[in-house]
Amino acid sequence: MPTSISERLRARASQEGFSGIRIASADAGPEQGERLRSFLEKSYHGEMDWLAETAERRAAPKSLWPKAQSAIVLAMNYGQEIDAFERLERTSQGVISAYALNRDYHDVVKGKLKKIATWFASATKSEVKVFVDTAPLMEKPLAHRAGLGWQGKHTNLVSRELGSWFFIGTILTDKALPEDGTETDHCGSCQACLDICPTKAFPAPYQLDARRCISYLTIEHKGHIDREFRKPMGNRIYGCDDCLAVCPWNKFASEASEAKLRAREDLVSPGLDELAQLDDAAFRKLFVGSPVKRVGRDRFVRNVLIAIGNSGNPDFVPVAEHLLRDASPLVRAMAVWALAQLMPQEDFQQARNMHVMTEPDLAVKAEWSSP
């Protein structure tokens, strides 16, 4: 029977389905804030203004909550029994990142964290706060210091026991707990994650320029996606897993034990033509409870149309043509681009002559002019 509070905490975490748990001091070294400042100064955060707005609080847990003494950092596995690279070869089907193939992890992980935190607060007469990727808390550096893993050259957390297919959740407490100690970097000379990136989003090892990252472009970026990135996106319509999937440490990864995180069959390889035809109501119904829903229908169909343009499948031409009349300029613009990739030049010019004069949006008109 576990006797110490730390042992009882680990037992509780295992009962709730967490794959790992480590403890660190809530004090942060100055390097954490320095790395964040460098990232922001280089504008690598793109449109994610909230990173700059919360930078001071984000630099250290105690900046967020001065009473914090310890950080309990937990990992929940979301590994899937699917081949990440094989899906990319099915170019008439869309690829959604593995973490988003079922329920929103914020809800799943936070619900379980709250159960543990409530028990811990009662057992220790302490105060607690729970975080899952929504507050200004730098969870990956904190997880590194706790010994849960290390930040690899792709900046994501890697574990010798879990690979890198896992979510991080954190409980801050005003109770001082014994620390587990930090983890060592085990990347060595390997740079598979850097080499495989389709858009060259890593200017150097351990640095990410989010503005070039397909996950950022398909999820966070609200406007038109630059031409430079459209071909490299392939059929990735929500997120990108390449740098995770290629990591050799994932030979130790396993399938998610939590049923709500296992892939929904209808989202593993959905047809691009069906996705492109979703209206707002159908989009919300398909992705109810999913993290995909947060991007909204227009941005999602924008992504799908880029994948359609990359498919090489002329059977998708009628779908793209129909979307030339869509209410969203984001959608119309990428419908034009998709048709430019799939249509013979003569047919594209005929379509241009039919639509360009009545198109009110300048960005969409520019797509007609620059096939």
Burial tier of 296 (Cβ tally within 10 Å: 0-12, 13-18, 19+)? middle
Angle between helices 329-342 and 345-355 (to 10 degrees): 150
Q: Is 133 a known active-site residue?
A: yes
CA dihedral 53, 54, 55, 59 (to 10 degrees): 180
Closest CA to 162 of 81, 263, 76, 71: 76
Q: Per the structure block, which two tokens stand in for 48? A: 């994610």
Q: How far is CA 301 from CA 76, 234, 265, 285, in A?
A: 30, 14, 20, 15
| Contact present, 154 and 205 (Cβ < 8 Å) | no
| Contact present, 69 and 175 (Cβ < 8 Å) | yes
- Give the separation between CA 261 and CA 259, rounded to whole angstroms: 5
Closest CA to 105 of 116, 97, 93: 97
Tell me which of 83, 133, 298, 361 is the catalytic residue.
Answer: 133
How does DSSP assign 77-117, residue by residue?
E---SS-HHHHHH-TTB-EE-GGGSSS-HHHHHHHHHHHHH
- Give the separation between CA 176 and CA 71, rounded to whole angstroms: 9
Active site residues: 133
